[in-house]
Amino acid sequence: MNLNYQILNPPTAPIATLLIAHGLFGSKRNWLTIARQLSRQYRVILPDLRNHGDSPHTPIMTYTAMANDIAELCQTLKLSDGLCFIGHSMGGKVAMQTAHNYPPLFRSIVVVDIAPKIYPMGRQTPLFDACLALPVDTVNSRADANRALESQGVTHAEIRAFLLHNLVLTPHPHWRIPLDVLRQHEPEIMAAPLLLNRTDTPALFLRGTASDYILNADIETIHQLFSQAHVTAMPGSHWLHAEHPNVLIAHITEFLLQIHG
């Protein structure tokens, strides 16, 4: 699959190449601000994962398939080794799966607020329901859509704004992402990545102190699957890149300097 992507290059020779993957309902745009800061020293590649952003739509939504997409993108860009894969939430599971399936490609990974485990069904269901209930054919403005999502129970303005990045108003209102496909494959999205053996790829797991996505009980599982894993807590909930971008960047750059020099 030919993923849509954006590349940011530093003004001088890059220390390393970073690949950043967004989470469910997201796109490369979500990480652009952080990518711009990191691109002062690193080459940064921002893909839209399948069924997200401007990448192709497909009825398959497994982590193995998404890992294959990333490997294909690396082949297209002639990236052979020494990469760091940074992934948030669903993108973090893609990072784990890709590092497991294609170990020569990645020198390190950074996993942002997600664990290698199955998450309970229903966590994302209210967001799917609210978006699917939105009468897009009658929406005249983003403000109309915002009010409609609020009436459907999406009470947090930041989450409504995040979801509405996927709404295209012209030439006719429609969702950029295939919500019905994603909803159908919610079990696969909530599943654990298929990690059959332990990997020695250096890995930084960042968890939000106000988030329940990485629990204390998950840390043992992380170390069982990633022999060189470090789990670090930082302020914030699940949306660490939006809430505390500078703190997140500091943790990432410190890790990159240790691994990539």
DSSP 31-79: GHHHHHHHTTTSEEEEEPPTTSTTSPP-S---HHHHHHHHHHHHHHTT-
Q: Are 21 and 70 a contacting pair, CB within 8 Å?
A: yes
User: From the centroid of its chain, how far is CA 72?
Assistant: 18
- Whether the CB-CB separation of 81 and 107 falls below 8 Å is answered with yes
User: Per residue in 94-105, is it b (16+ CB within 10 Å) or e — as a string?
Assistant: bbbbbbbbbeeb
Residue 16 has phi, psi (to 5 degrees) of: -165, 170
φ and ψ of 20, to 5 deg: -120, 125
Catalytic residues: 89, 180, 238
Bridge partners of 230, per DSSP, are 204
Strand ranges (E), the chain: 5-8, 17-21, 43-47, 83-88, 106-112, 167-168, 174-175, 203-208, 229-234
Residue 35 CB contacts under 8 Å (≥ 6 apart), including other chains: 8, 18, 20, 44, 46
Nearest of 249, 81, 4, 54 to residue 165 by alpha carbon: 54
Contact 1, 55 (CB under 8 A): yes
